[in-house]
Amino acid sequence: MISWIENIARAPYRLWGLILAAAIMTLLLGQIVVERITLLSSGTEVRLATAPVDPRDIFRGDYVILTYDISRLPVDRLADDPDQFKGGDTVYVTLVEDDTSGLWQAMTIHHQRPETVAGTATIRGRIDWMDTAPLTPTALPGEAPVDERCVGCRNARISYGIESYFVPEGTGRDLEDMRDEGSVTVIAAVSENGTAAIKGLILDGGDPVYLEPLL
């Protein structure tokens, strides 16, 4: 065993090994690109309400963090087994389109992927953490009446892998300004297995301000 490994490790350079390693790396890169293109071109298109914030990634440049309405969900209302949800869990959220706004909203949340129903899409996410709504609600002007609020409910903070939107250097602030001027909506593609990818951004329900080419 040891001598066999030593023969591999102490041998002179292997040209075929170098070419094979480079081919494997190229295939791995190609596989990610093809997977993303397939998802973006054939996934169910959903529109999600969001609010961007502008930070910076040391390796990948400027990007905006997108927080969605579906990023924080009350599991007591949406799940059959709300006590079973905890941080780190993989979850599937069923989305349904709101006829008036055209935005997709959460309908149910599950641990296992549910059967697909026509007119719905299921997005996969991971619970970052659970929090509980305050037991004693504050009574600030303009807030919803206390009886309509889910006091003491458990909320799941969920990431779907579509929380970062990379923008050209120095343009992150522009997107924030747009957000301040009106509502920002994300067009996302959701695949059969629940993986989501960002296709573009819309401001105030109009034409897309950013639309991503496939290549």
What is the contact surface with other proteins in residues (CB under 8 A)? 2, 5-6, 8-15, 17-22, 24-26, 28-29, 32-33, 36, 40, 57-63, 65, 87-88, 126, 159, 161-169, 197-198, 212-215
Rounded distance, CA 157 to CA 88, Å?
10
Rounded distance, CA 196 to CA 202, Å?
17
Displacement of CA 107 from its chain's centroid (Å): 17
104 vs 160, which CB is nearer to other proteins?
160
Cβ 215 to other proteins shortest distance, Å: 4
Q: Within 13 A of 42's CA, how many CA atoms are on the CB side?
A: 9
Which among 102, 113, 128 is positioned nearest to 48, based on CA atoms?
102
Cβ 191 to other proteins shortest distance, Å: 13
Residue 63: other Cβ atoms inside 10 A: 19
Cβ 141 to other proteins shortest distance, Å: 36
Cβ 2 to other proteins shortest distance, Å: 6
Sign of CA dihedral 7, 10, 12, 13: positive
56 vs 149, which CB is nearer to other proteins?
56
Cβ 200 to other proteins shortest distance, Å: 10
Rounded distance, CA 54 to CA 174, Å?
9
